[in-house]
């Protein structure tokens, strides 16, 4: 008889691990509290405009290809994507703009033209980032840090031998100031700390590896939008015979003799040989493992940053913006101080704008655009979010108008706004945190919850709240780690 696996939650890590376990011969069932799959990587419509709910940056498509290869199917039958020429377009309030190309050489040449000819330093910086990425990929990103076998390998020896070249013990901002003189360039490279919900003044310099993903490996866009990552994995899972139960919130995880043996849904027991939680790990303990002590990894849980998100239907197109765009704050120091120390949003925040309709024409009517505007914010700590979002809306419209030389108020013909409170409610991310626990620590990689329980047999964890962290590539890696741990 085949062994059975139950997956709690259908975020991309839950979808990916369901396919990987099915490919290993398990019967798999997925339980999802919402009426749709994908978690933060789902989509919705406002009138006839399609919007992706969550993250917009797609890198390392080889991780998706690996899932389909593992299942023995051709990815082209389910999922197609293209590489973006410009990874992101940057704007400053003084009218300065910069196109950050996905291609390494074009990016370096553009820096050479725009930023006081700092070409050699950027080339060295990116080369070092690539080296760091290659050193840590097998250890920190693709293996469990909580198994001795991880450290008994050639890759581990190389990483340990080069430990002091990883810039672990200085902040990302300090590292960037060593390399660059231009304040705009430092601000640009500091921004990558926000990719895992961190502050460049607090997170480790090892986070410079993120630059390698964008400017060496490239930025991509699925042909049908970012949420097609989830849709394609779901379609493959259905074709493989994986069973999904939507609108089915788990009541508790069943434990017998220190082993996970099933779950309870609507007071009915469902037995399984292994349980994988794709739910926020802190909430998994709070809600599903009553009576079990939280491990030290999450006893002093410090959430990552969150966001206030505006989804706008725009009744015209804006040729001067790209797919991904950043309008920088005038004062990055104050901006991060507000988010991480004062637990508020600065009056002049950095504004991220994404319009997938630039690529996916079906996302908006002809001559129109779908805008996703994200403002980094603190996690929910009881702030007055209704007042914050009202003030913030006014501030960002003023900022966009001033920078892009437009008047967008009359162009917004549909709107939805999410605060950290809404994000927690809709995705069960504790305090609305986008990336689980904070990475504002030099030891953060080592204090994330492991992908397995040390006290409960046959219980595993995947997704952005556990090792190796948040974001699409790391969530897909967490699914691979779990499947490798399962016998």
pLDDT, tens digit, 9 for 90 and up, residues 189-207? 999 999 888 899 998 888 8
Is residue 143 one of the residues assigned to a domain? yes
Report pLDDT for 479. 96
pLDDT of residue 196: 82
Using CA atoms, how far apart are residues 365 and 50, in angstroms rounded to an integer?
Answer: 10
The C-alpha angle 197, 201, 202, rounded to 5 degrees, equals 65
Average pLDDT over residues 289-306: 77
Residue 268 falls within a domain, yes or no? no
CA distance 25 to 485: 15
Asked, for residue 196, whether it belongs to a domain, the answer is yes
Residue 466 belongs to a domain: no
Q: What's residue 162's pLDDT?
A: 58
Of all residues in the chain, the percent with pLDDT exceeding 70 is 90
Is residue 222 assigned to a domain?
no
* Domain total of the chain: 1
Mean pLDDT lowest among 248-262, 288-302, 313-327, 366-380: 288-302
* 142 is a domain residue: yes
Q: Does residue 291 lie within any of the structural domains? A: no
Indicate the pLDDT class of residue 291, thresholds 50, 70 and 90. confident
Please provide residue 66's backbone torsions phi and psi, each rounded to the nearest 5 degrees: -65, -35
| 157-161, 251-255, 353-357, 401-405: the lowest-pLDDT one | 157-161
Per-residue pLDDT tens digits for 85-135:
999 999 999 999 999 998 888 998 999 888 876 667 888 898 888 888 887
pLDDT of residue 300: 63
Which tens digit of pLDDT belongs to each residue from 339-351? 999 999 999 999 9
User: Could you tell me where the DSSP H helices lie in 100-161?
Assistant: 104-114, 119-136, 148-151, 154-161
CA angle 484, 197, 118 (to 5 degrees): 105
Measured in degrees and rounded to the nearest 5, phi and psi for residue 183 equal -65, -35
pLDDT tens sequence across 121-163: 888 898 888 888 887 766 666 565 555 454 445 454 455 545 5
Mean predicted confidence (pLDDT) in 434-445? 67
Task: Indicate whether 440 pLDDT > 90.
Answer: no
Residues 485, 452: contact at Cβ < 8 Å? yes
Tell me: pLDDT of 76 over 60.
Answer: yes
Please state, for a pLDDT cut of 90, what percent of the chain lies above it: 68
Look up the CATH number of the domain holding residue 159: 1.10.405
Q: Tell me whether residue 303 is in a domain.
A: no
pLDDT at 238: 98
Mean pLDDT of the chain: 89
Residue 268: both structure tokens together:
């009915």
Give residue 370's Cα distance to chain centre.
20
pLDDT at 442 over 60: no
Question: Which residues constitute the domain of residue 156?
Answer: 103-217
Q: Range with the lowest mean pLDDT among 137-151, 254-268, 310-324, 415-429?
A: 137-151
**pLDDT per position as a tens digit, 212-223:** 878 778 899 999
What's the pLDDT at 185?
92
Nearest to 197, CA basis, from 367, 394, 432, 37: 432
What pLDDT score does 152 carry?
A: 47
For 100, phi then psi, to 5°, come to -90, 105
Q: Is the pLDDT of residue 463 over 80?
A: yes
Predicted TM-score (pTM) of the model is 0.91
Quick one: tokens of 395? 């501030």
């Amino acid at each position: 008889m085949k062994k059975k696996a139950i997956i709690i939650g259908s975020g991309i890590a839950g979808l990916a691990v369901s396919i990987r376990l099915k490919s290993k011969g398990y019967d798999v069932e997925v339980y999802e509290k919402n009426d749709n799959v994908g978690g933060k990587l789902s989509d919705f419509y406002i009138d006839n405009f399609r919007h992706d709910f969550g993250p917009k940056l797609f890198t390392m498509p080889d991780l998706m290809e690996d899932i389909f290869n593992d299942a023995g199917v051709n990815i082209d039958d389910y999922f197609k994507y293209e590489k973006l020429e410009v990874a992101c377009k940057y704007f400053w309030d003084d009218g300065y703009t910069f196109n950050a190309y996905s291609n390494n050489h074009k990016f370096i040449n553009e820096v050479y033209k725009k930023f006081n000819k700092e070409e050699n330093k950027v080339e060295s910086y990116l080369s070092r980032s690539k080296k760091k990425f290659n050193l840590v990929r097998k250890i920190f990103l693709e293996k469990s840090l909580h198994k001795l076998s991880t450290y008994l390998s050639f890759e581990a020896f190389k990483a340990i031998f080069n430990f002091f070249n990883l810039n672990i013990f200085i902040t990302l901002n300090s590292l960037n100031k060593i390399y660059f003189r231009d304040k705009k360039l430092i601000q640009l490279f500091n921004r990558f700390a926000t990719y895992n919900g961190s502050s460049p003044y607090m997170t480790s310099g090892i986070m410079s590896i993120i630059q390698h993903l964008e400017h060496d490996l490239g930025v991509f866009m699925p042909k049908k939008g970012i949420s097609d990552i989830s849709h394609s994995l779901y379609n493959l899972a259905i074709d493989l015979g994986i069973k999904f139960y939507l609108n089915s919130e788990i009541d508790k995880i069943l434990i017998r003799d220190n082993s996970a043996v099933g779950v309870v849904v609507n007071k009915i027991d469902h037995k399984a040989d292994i349980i994988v939680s794709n739910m926020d790990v802190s909430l998994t303990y709070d809600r599903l493992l009553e009576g079990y002590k939280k491990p030290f990894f999450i006893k002093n849980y410090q959430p990552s940053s969150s966001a206030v998100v505006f989804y706008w239907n725009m009744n015209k197109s804006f040729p001067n913006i790209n797919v991904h765009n950043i309008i920088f704050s005038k004062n990055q120091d104050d901006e991060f101080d507000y988010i991480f120390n004062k637990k508020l949003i600065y009056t002049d925040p950095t504004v991220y704008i994404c319009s997938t309709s630039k690529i996916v024409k079906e996302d908006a009517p002809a001559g129109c655009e779908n805008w996703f505007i994200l403002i980094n914010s603190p996690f929910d700590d009881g702030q007055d979010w209704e007042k914050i979002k009202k003030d913030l809306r006014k501030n960002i419209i003023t900022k966009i108008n001033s920078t892009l030389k437009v008047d967008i108020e009359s162009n917004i013909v549909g709107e939805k706004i999410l605060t950290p409170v809404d994000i927690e409610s809709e995705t069960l991310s504790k305090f609305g945190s986008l990336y689980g626990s904070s990475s504002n620590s030099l030891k953060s990689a080592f204090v994330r919850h492991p992908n397995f329980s040390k006290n409960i047999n046959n219980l595993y964890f995947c997704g952005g709240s556990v090792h190796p962290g948040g974001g699409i590539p790391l969530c897909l890696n967490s699914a691979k780690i779990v499947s490798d741990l399962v016998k």
